Amino acid sequence: MPEVVIGDLRGQVGSTRLGAERLCALCDEYGAQIMHAAMESLLERTASRVCSEFARWPDGENSAEALLDHDGADRSKPVCVKVIARKAGDRLTLDFSGTDAQAKGPVNTPLPTAQAVSLLAIIAASDPTIPMNSGVLDAVDFVMPPGTLVNPQFPASVNHYFPTSHVVYTCVLAALGKFNPARAVAPAGFGTGAIAIGYTKGRAGKPTVQYELMVTSLGGTSTHDGTSIVLPMNHFTPGTPVEIIETEYPVMVRRYDIWRDSAGAGRHRGGIGNVREYQLLVDCILTARTSNHRQGAWGLNGGKGPPLSCAVINLDTPQAEEMDCMETRWVPAGTVVRLEQTGGGGYGNPFERLKKLVLQDVDDGYVSLEAAAAQYKINDL
């Protein structure tokens, strides 16, 4: 379906051409030698700032691990990502030797991607104002044995790499938060991925595919609640407008709403999850490429973990059926698909949350009266 992504490709080509033109213009104005020196200076500045951050942390090692439901091939056992962070002086080593071997299924993530999301976690756990460039690599050593989930060898399948990358990011952030508690953050809700719905005829009468990214919400921090309905790790908010979806595809969006009681409770709760319901108007092929319907995120420093994400077909009918996190099936016209994308983990003891904040959450529809009583011990709202 080249027409589905031709705009993306043109945007990438156009932005690259524009960037090249402007770089050439800078070289014409200042000279290539000065430009080269400026770039070297930016890399050195980033490396120096990262090393300075590390130097303030205590020496030692901390670890973190998390699970994916399965690898998509063997659905009987979970898949583990584990990292040990070792800090000495102004250098950091991230050791993924304890991570599972590369999988037969598509959850492997390429080495450059695993390293990139680890570097994002390093910046998040230290100082987010540090310029993001390869200078970070000068202060970090990676141990990523070949043949593991984070360094798969050909012919490994990497089609479903994003949820694994999110777990890698979460583990690195969790391990580094123990070195620098001021920047510690509860995990974002697991359950990222995408759905793809194949139609023999779209609204325009041609075969087409509806492809949408699934987002969750961020975890709470020591200073504020988690942000709601953004893509963890990248922190942007993908989402095709309902009007566009219904114009382009033979589908009706019955609901796109917050998911009450989906945030991990805490002194600072996680972000609120979201619910989408699609009613498919024609026979089609539905592929769920989400994640973590069995293995969830956790809270931090006494905070609670959020519920699990899930995908359900024909909820509240005798034909109700929960889909696996990686599944493709033919579905007839009239089928309703409900996607529940969880919220983030909570930070801190929920009993320490201010009553006025709990009341505001109840008024906003984020927290039910039952959850306010059970999770926050507040019964007089």
Instruction: State whether the Cα torsion 126-129-132-135 is positive or negative.
Output: negative
One domain, residues 165 and 252: no
Residue 196 and residue 175 share a domain: no
Q: Can you tell me the distance from the alpha carbon of 320 to that of 86, in angstroms, rounded to the nearest whole number?
A: 48
Q: Distance of CA 27 to CAs 30, 42, 43, Å?
A: 5, 16, 18
The DSSP code for 151 is B
- Name the stretches of the chain with pLDDT < 50: none
Token pair for 286: 């539905």
Q: Are strands 140-143 and 91-95 parallel, antiparallel or unpaired?
A: parallel
- Say yes or no: 271 and 341 in one domain: yes
184, 214, 239: which is the final residue of a domain?
184
Does one domain contain both 174 and 298?
Answer: no
Residue 253's nearest CA partner among 200, 287, 210 is: 210
**Distances, alpha carbon 209 to alpha carbons 94, 163, 203, 246, 287, in Å:** 39, 21, 11, 13, 10
Do the domain assignments include residue 162?
Answer: yes
Identify the pLDDT of residue 233: 85
- Would 218 be classed as within a structural domain? yes
For residue 148, report the phi and psi dihedrals to the nearest 5 degrees: -105, 170
Q: Is residue 376 part of a domain?
A: yes
Cα of 131 vs its chain's centroid, Å: 22
d(CA 343, CA 328): 25
Are residues 227 and 134 located together in one domain of the fold? no
170 and 191 in a single domain? The answer is no
Structurally, the chain folds into a number of domains equal to 2
For the segment 9-30, what is each residue's pLDDT rounded down to a tens digit? 999 999 999 999 999 999 999 9
pLDDT, position 46: 95
Under 8 Å between Cβ of 237 and 245: no
pTM, two decimals, is: 0.93
Identify whether 331 is part of a domain. yes
Residues 154 and 219 in one domain: no
Is residue 39 situated within a structural domain? Answer: no
Say whether both 164 and 190 belong to one domain: no
Is 253 within the bounds of a domain?
yes
Residues β-bridged to residue 277 = 255, 338
What residues make up the domain containing 316?
A: 186-381
Which residue, of 133, 162, 184, is where some domain finishes?
184
Relative to beta strand 79-88, strand 91-95 is antiparallel
Indicate if 310 and 167 belong to the same structural domain. no
Q: Reading across the β-sheet that carries 140-143, which strands appear in turn?
A: 60-68, 79-88, 91-95, 140-143
Q: Are residues 199 and 315 in the same domain?
A: yes
| Residue at a domain's end among 129, 154, 184 | 184
198 in the same domain as 347 = yes
Distance CA 214, CA 339 (A): 9
Same domain for 113 and 226, yes or no, is no
Residue 1 has a pLDDT of: 74
**Contacts with 172 (C-beta within 8 Å, 6 or more apart), sequence order:** 64, 83, 85, 94, 117, 118, 121, 122, 125
Distance of CA 255 to the CA centre of its chain: 22
